[in-house]
């Protein structure tokens, strides 16, 4: 087994796969919508819902915040779980409205408590909160999603049981820039779609034969 640090893993994935350009969106408000809609579904379904919302609102947050719940449900139906997701979108955009959709002010006002505030909103779990922190509020955080949990397990990292357990192992990304942290999540997800389905798929990947060392998290 050949050792890799976290940053070396990022570098190797970037060299092999190239930039992924995550998160795919025209604005941060589109990212918020996509992060909610992608829960428990695939991105192709999300694209259909986003296209519907764009036609009606152009992703202008003021327009999104005024959408009637039943109408919103009809727009996001392709993404499934539309009742719960519509409630989440409405609550999040009403919260943003209190700050005149000024994301910088929100970040300044909440500071280190922003993640806790995001988690208090309906439909925002740990993964979605971290996605919003990373791609909307430009906070350098690590997203421990299922693809990443499986990959790190294949890379011989012990003690991964769920999202929270991996976050404890990788609480932050001190040696990454913000853009690198954003790119890293994209690389992990795109790799995961292909290579973490099972051991055979992983063995065929360019990361077979490596183990990830998290002791210094560099």
CA distance 121 to 117: 7
Nearest to 61 by CA among 84, 20, 27, 87: 27
The residue assigned the tokens 């087994």 is 1
Domain ranges of the chain: 2-21+141-212, 28-135
In CATH, 28-135 is 3.30.450.40: no
**Tens of pLDDT along the chain (218 residues)?**
999 999 999 999 999 999 998 998 999 999 999 999 999 999 999 999 999 999 999 999 999 999 999 999 999 999 999 999 999 999 999 999 999 999 999 999 999 999 999 999 999 999 999 999 999 999 999 999 999 999 999 999 999 999 999 999 998 898 999 999 999 999 999 999 999 999 999 999 999 999 999 975 55
* Cα–Cα separations (whole angstroms), residue 78 to 68, 138, 154, 180: 17, 29, 33, 32
Nearest to 80 by CA among 27, 44, 55: 44
């Amino acid at each position: 087994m050949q050792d890799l640090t976290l940053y070396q893993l990022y570098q190797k994935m970037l060299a092999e796969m190239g930039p992924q350009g995550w998160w795919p969106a025209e604005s941060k408000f589109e990212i918020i919508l996509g992060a909610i809609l992608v829960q428990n579904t695939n991105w192709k379904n999300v694209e259909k819902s986003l296209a519907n919302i764009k036609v009606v609102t152009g992703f202008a947050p003021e327009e999104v915040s005024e959408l009637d719940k039943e109408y919103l449900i009809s727009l996001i139906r392709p993404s499934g779980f539309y009742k719960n997701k519509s409630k989440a979108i409405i609550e999040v955009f009403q919260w943003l409205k209190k700050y005149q959709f000024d994301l910088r002010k929100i970040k300044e006002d909440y500071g280190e408590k922003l993640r806790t505030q995001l988690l208090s909103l309906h439909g925002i779990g740990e993964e979605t909160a971290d996605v919003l922190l990373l791609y909307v509020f430009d906070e350098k955080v690590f997203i421990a999603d299922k693809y990443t949990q499986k990959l790190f397990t294949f890379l011989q990292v012990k003690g991964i049981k769920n999202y929270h357990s991996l976050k404890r192992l990788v609480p932050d990304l001190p040696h990454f820039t913000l853009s690198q942290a954003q790119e890293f999540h994209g690389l992990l997800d795109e790799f995961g779609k292909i290579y973490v389905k099972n051991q055979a798929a992983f063995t065929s990947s360019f990361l077979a034969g490596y183990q990830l060392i998290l002791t210094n998290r560099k």
